[in-house]
Structure 1
């Protein structure tokens, strides 16, 4: 059975008049990525598992997919290829975090385990779409943040958003002090209600100081889209926090509004420390 016939049998609804030529190009790209002939049957079946139609395949994606499939099959040469093409860039990705050499080594090891261990390995879920560099960047940053956070957990004040100097507004300072515990619980609950993408965007932008342009590149969207998504995530976080506070507290609406005005006014300055205090972030 030809490669095109295998694909058509699996995805007849995505048939393409140029399918044979596209499959030849994808196989050639896979061979180049692996630096040896790929498993063509496995590659075609993996391409058929993608939601993208043949017209949206890319050679970069096919190369990533071939490496991922070979790694998942336990091919040591493919693992070394993955390390030399992708994992080797992790220290540079995290250079701005000024981590120690031992911490960087630990990050690389954990990223390797997260992506290559499992049945099937997580790398296979993301490969084929030209997203491996972005996936590795996100995984490395999250892993590094976890290590750093664990190392200094005892020095973080998760209620920084409510630290308003008393001399500026004694009434708000009183409210902040009185409802600090309730806010901590409400914020954690609100974070848990965000979807993984929203949490990741907030975490990367506020904790790791990833720029809007870089986030747009990582997620393959326009910068304006990232701006809108971050704004929506912040608004959702404030709204869910307010709802959780309302459920926990029995105070006058004007008092709750004052606390929420304070929270919103200091959200940009303090969301990083608040996010670092929430243990269950993905």
Structure 2
């Protein structure tokens, strides 16, 4: 067996899951070098050497059985955002400035709603900044908890929402008001061969129609959907955040969902020219796939800002 090179050694020493030392250390080393180079390319102003990044990455690798290949695990992670988080934990000024510009500066718009006073949003943003970036007597800054699985912006937003909830004095509602189950139980008929055929044949039309219907939502409705579908906040948390009861949140979600459903239905019926019988069957597919497509659109919006030139304006 070859001598294990330096980055591979750092990775194996810090990985919380047990990796079998690679027989081809040079290939393992090359994979880690490529991960570092790919991550730092997004933030060229941040000077973070390979070895501390690889050690930081190793501590956050998803749990896996020994002898699992590393490359698929790395593919599951947002390496560029993990690189920035690692640099922030180490207090690198350029990283802290970029985190402020690309993430914290976007929080007011992400949190704003008719139910949230601007003064409270300002307070939340300040608390988020301190909580995420400032070490405490008990340990490092909270950004060290970001594992690279999922978008960093979504992680920051969830942190902010939970802080906002704590700032609000809301009585815990009675158990019968919890309507999570009601919303989750919206009809989703089981698939059959006919529906699978319709779904495959008109997959592109379906995605386009939902996208067009989704574009008609208000900013408040998008904000609500993002918190529910992407950040997976519960009805109780949403009710506390917006200072309403859970039945109101449920009604908001159902109303917005119904708008997308009906607009998608209208566009599809006009576009596909299906017979009434075929279209009735297709509605079952629409109902079962709609929420998945909404989640995909919201995640795409979250990921879009990092697709531009590195270190550019948000």
Give the TM-score of the pair, scaled to structure 1: 0.51
Q: Does the CA-based 8 Å contact 1:30-1:64 persist in structure 2?
A: yes
Alignment of 1:89-168 (within 5 A): 89-118=106-135, 119-147=139-167, 149-150=168-169
Correspondent of 1:55 among 72, 77, 81: 72
Question: How far apart in 2 are the matches of 1:15 and 1:50?
Answer: 18
Correspondent of 1:5 among 9, 12, 20: 9
Question: How far apart in 1 are the matches of 2:81 and 2:247?
Answer: 38
CA deviation digits over 1:110-152, x for unaligned, max 9? 11111112322111111422342221111112222333x24xx
* Matched position secondary structure for 1:50: coil
Q: Give the superposition deviation at 1:15.
A: 5.6
Which position in structure 2 is the counterpart of 1:78? 95
Alignment of 1:224-263 (within 5 A): none
Q: Give the superposition deviation at 1:41.
A: 1.0
Which position in structure 2 is the counterpart of 1:68? 85
- Say which is worse superposed, 3-12 or 60-69, in terms of deviation: 3-12
- Cα 1:98–1:80 change in 2 (3 A) is farther
Q: Does the CA-based 8 Å contact 1:25-1:59 persist in structure 2?
A: no
- Cα 1:146–1:9 change in 2 (3 A) is closer
Q: Does the CA-based 8 Å contact 2:11-2:58 persist in structure 1?
A: yes
* Matched position secondary structure for 1:57: helix
Regions of 4+ moved over 4 Å: 9-12, 14-18, 156-162
* More helix per residue: 1
- Say which is worse superposed, 14-23 or 61-70, in terms of deviation: 14-23
CA deviation digits over 1:61-112, x for unaligned, max 9? 2222222222122222211111111111111211235533332221111111
Correspondent of 2:247 among 245, 261, 269: 269
- Say which is worse superposed, 53-62 or 83-92, in terms of deviation: 53-62
Q: Does the CA-based 8 Å contact 2:14-2:56 persist in structure 1?
A: no
Structure 1 residues not aligned, in runs of 5+: 163-207, 220-225, 234-266, 273-282
CA deviation digits over 1:189-213, x for unaligned, max 9? xxxxxxxxxxxxxxxxxxx9833x6
Question: How far apart in 2 are the matches of 1:29 and 1:41?
Answer: 14
User: Are 1:39 and 2:45 an aligned pair?
Assistant: no
Q: Give the superposition deviation at 1:45.
A: 0.5
Give the TM-score of the pair, scaled to structure 2: 0.47
Q: Give the superposition deviation at 1:270.
A: 7.8
User: Are 1:25 and 2:25 an aligned pair?
Assistant: no
CA RMSD of aligned residues (A): 3.7
Structure 2 residues not aligned, in runs of 5+: 63-69, 178-221, 237-244, 251-314
Alignment of 1:181-196 (within 5 A): none
* Matched position secondary structure for 1:96: coil
